[in-house]
């Protein structure tokens, strides 16, 4: 028997597999396919202070080994999240819930964190300073160490819950942002969000997505995400949730060898809603093949 359990900054998880924000709605969508209580935790769709319709259509562009999305943080707003979405999820789900919050200024993040503080069913706040699909905030807040630190301090001041900051790969040195967030009080880091990408329709000579550019994700970004996790885990002492292109149990092991304490599965859920279930079921076999009895001390040689 192998032990799949891990510890994420003091929060025990039955296994390291977490559907990434934006790829599983508010949890109920995945529960139509399987019992989501098999998951280690779940990261909910990104939420902002006010409801957002999102970007104009079309929002999705297919790519080899991935896709580009430009959804633009479509969501019902923090109040509806707390009043409707989380209670509905908690009625069927007993594992840790990660609320992903975003905004267009520091005050937006602080407001969402303060409102989330009163919700006992939220276990972790994930501050998304890395969304490439919105203007006037999003990724722009996560490319400057000083601003990323300011957001981190504001969220920590507004809430006593563990705070993980989700980092963008669209920077020269991701470790500089990571260290700034750690010094500002972050309890952990999520590495990485999507890369900025683009597709052009050669027949119309126009970008495929209405916003021109969007977040590129999928299997093609895995080596980049793995490198970023490896760098951040060595630059910081706080736990890391690895994210980016993960679609197999073997890649989960790689992420944890690079230094991740838990692993988020993103775009794979959009292609195959059973992806997380499949990975969880395959992990014991892969661990046994590698001679691993547990995941807690899994590190690269």
**What element of type H or E holds 108?**
helix 106-117
Q: Is 76 exposed, middle or buried (0-12, 13-18, 19+ CB in 10 A)?
A: middle
Is 63 in the active site?
no
24, 112, 131, 276: the active-site residue: 131
Compute the distance between CA of residue 116 and CA of residue 231 in angstroms, rounded to an integer. Answer: 31
User: Do residues 269 and 31 lie in contact, with contact meaning Cβ atoms separated by under 8 Å?
Assistant: no
Pull the structure tokens for residue 51.
């409801």
Q: Is 39 exposed, middle or buried (0-12, 13-18, 19+ CB in 10 A)?
A: buried
3-state secondary structure of 82: helix
- Catalytic positions, please? 131
């Amino acid at each position: 028997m192998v032990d799949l359990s891990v510890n994420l900054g003091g929060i025990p998880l039955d296994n390291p597999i977490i559907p990434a924000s934006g790829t599983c709605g508010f949890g109920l969508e995945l529960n139509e396919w399987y019992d989501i209580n098999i998951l280690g935790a779940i990261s909910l769709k990104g939420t902002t202070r006010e409801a957002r319709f999102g970007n104009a259509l079309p929002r999705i562009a297919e790519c080899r080994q991935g896709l580009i999305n430009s959804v633009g943080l479509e969501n019902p707003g923090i109040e509806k999240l707390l009043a409707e979405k989380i209670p509905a999820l908690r009625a069927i789900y007993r594992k840790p819930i990660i609320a992903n919050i975003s905004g267009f200024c520091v005050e937006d993040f602080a407001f969402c964190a303060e409102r989330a503080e009163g919700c006992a069913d939220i276990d972790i706040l994930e501050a998304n300073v890395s969304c490439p699909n919105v203007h006037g905030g999003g990724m722009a807040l996560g490319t400057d160490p000083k601003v990323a630190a300011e957001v981190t301090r504001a969220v920590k001041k507004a809430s006593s819950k563990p705070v993980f900051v989700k980092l963008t790969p669209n920077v020269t040195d991701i470790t500089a942002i990571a260290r700034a967030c750690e010094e500002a009080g972050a309890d952990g880091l999520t590495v990485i969000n999507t890369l900025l990408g683009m597709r052009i329709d050669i027949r119309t000579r126009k970008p495929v997505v209405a916003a021109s550019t969007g977040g590129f994700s999928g299997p093609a970004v895995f080596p980049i995400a793995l490198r970023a996790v490896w760098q951040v885990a060595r630059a910081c002492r706080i736990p890391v949730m690895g994210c980016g292109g993960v679609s197999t149990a073997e890649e989960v092991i790689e992420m944890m060898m690079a230094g991740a304490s838990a692993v988020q599965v993103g775009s794979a859920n959009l292609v195959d809603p059973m992806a997380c279930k499949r990975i969880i079921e395959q992990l014991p076999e892969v661990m046994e093949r590698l001679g691993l009895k547990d995941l807690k001390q899994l590190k690269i040689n």
